[in-house]
A and B are shown apart, each in its own frame.
Chain A
């Protein structure tokens, strides 16, 4: 198992424990643990299996199981994205192993990026969202719980399967798609009507940074991608879990805690998102400075959406307040001293 995937599995387990402990809604904690545990076990299997075809089979099984659990969206609607992802990744696998012109390897690169986007639920294949749907059957587990490990595995496998020339195409595709997701996600998180949809778009925007980090093929790019994934799983996801009751009640607040949460979501100092953004800009500057400029402009778009999401948390009380404090503390600690995370991932 890659060290990077192992780190992401540990933080996913921590996020699951947080969701079970601090979920404000009156739902069965046992059911949440069972569904989350299944997702975690599938993520571990995805990271541990030796070949890419087994990764695809596990992904397919997980997609079918996720579509079969209770939810408001139709079974077919929920099953479609994982099937399209597996089909695209399987075709990419064929192209990667085909003997022929160089273009076939480039097709493989396109297929790998498109399959990853479809599996996680990013532009141009965002999973349909029903704001009233329970979190476990919504697209959120794909984008915030299973997706990080899957992305780390797909990127690592792509680096093994693709020739250097196609690897460049793969990186370019990731950066292009990343910029698209940054712009689309951050603007939609700001302007969309539904608060739940705004949270989902904020995940999409964060994933834009992740894709750019993976695409930059420099050490700092990989480090930035890992730290953004860390902030998604132990920052944005737990804060979304805590905000579920306030979202259901349509409650908002503008207390100091809401602005602190907005700062964490926007990736401001001293939270972990800030370190990741600095690393990403440094890598982009080394590679091609206009890209760093585009990324810097894109990062400014986080602010209005994050202020909105911070307000949507309302005023956390009791157990939720403890949960929010815990999330903020972990994100500050990782922001001030990210070296243990990077060393654990051998980056």
Chain B
């Protein structure tokens, strides 16, 4: 995403994206469950979903990844799609906040589609991505 931001909006935007992402990653490293969590036992439905989704994505990718700005479109679509899918598959607050950070950064990248907002989306996204991990997430009592 930093590289894409550099290409589409320059070094300051890229630095904002890199800083926000790095802070979010550092926070995520120190919170959430420990251990290897990729494809644990019981992942068969997800695997089937991936295969079915892959077939659809193949067709879309043929259209999205061609022409000018293909790398930007592909990055935004993949990260937004994965963040949304990750959110639907997890109950863990740390996972959702990580997805929030990723989504904020990629929405900033999407600002390259439109003219007029300058560097503000990048700075805003960096703040959201870096700050999301520090939010308190508790279930409080009803009042």
Dominant secondary structure of chain A at its interface with chain B:
helix
Binds B, one of A13-21, A78-86, A167-175, A309-317: A78-86
Looking across the interface, which residue of chain B has its beta carbon closest to that of A50? B116
Q: Which residues of A contact B132 (CB under 8 A)?
A: 64
Binds A, one of B22-30, B34-42, B43-51, B82-90: B82-90
Residue of A60, A75, A93, A94 most packed against chain B (CB within 10 A): A94
Q: Which residues of B contact A97 (CB under 8 A)?
A: 69, 73, 113
Q: Which one, A57, A107, A132, contacts B142 given CB within 8 A?
A: A132
Asked whether A51 lies within 8 Å of B142 as measured between CB atoms, the reply is no
- Tell me if A88 counts as interface (CB < 8 A to partner B): yes
- Tell me if B68 counts as interface (CB < 8 A to partner A): yes
How many Å lie between the Cα of A90 and that of B139 in the bound state? 29
Q: Which A residues from 85 to 106 make CB contacts under 8 A with B?
A: 86-88, 90-91, 93-95, 97-101, 103-104
Also in contact, A72 and B142, with CB within 8 A (given A90-B103, A94-B80): yes
Q: Which residues of B contact A71 (CB under 8 A)?
A: 139-140, 142
Q: Which residues of B contact A300 (CB under 8 A)?
A: none
Asked whether B121 lies within 8 Å of A54 as measured between CB atoms, the reply is yes
How many Å lie between the Cα of A90 and that of B78 in the bound state? 10
Q: Which residues of A contact B52 (CB under 8 A)?
A: none
How many Å lie between the Cα of A68 and that of B114 in the bound state? 31
13 contacts between A and B (CB under 8 A): A50-B116, A54-B120, A60-B103, A76-B92, A76-B93, A79-B96, A80-B87, A83-B100, A87-B80, A94-B73, A94-B113, A98-B63, A98-B73
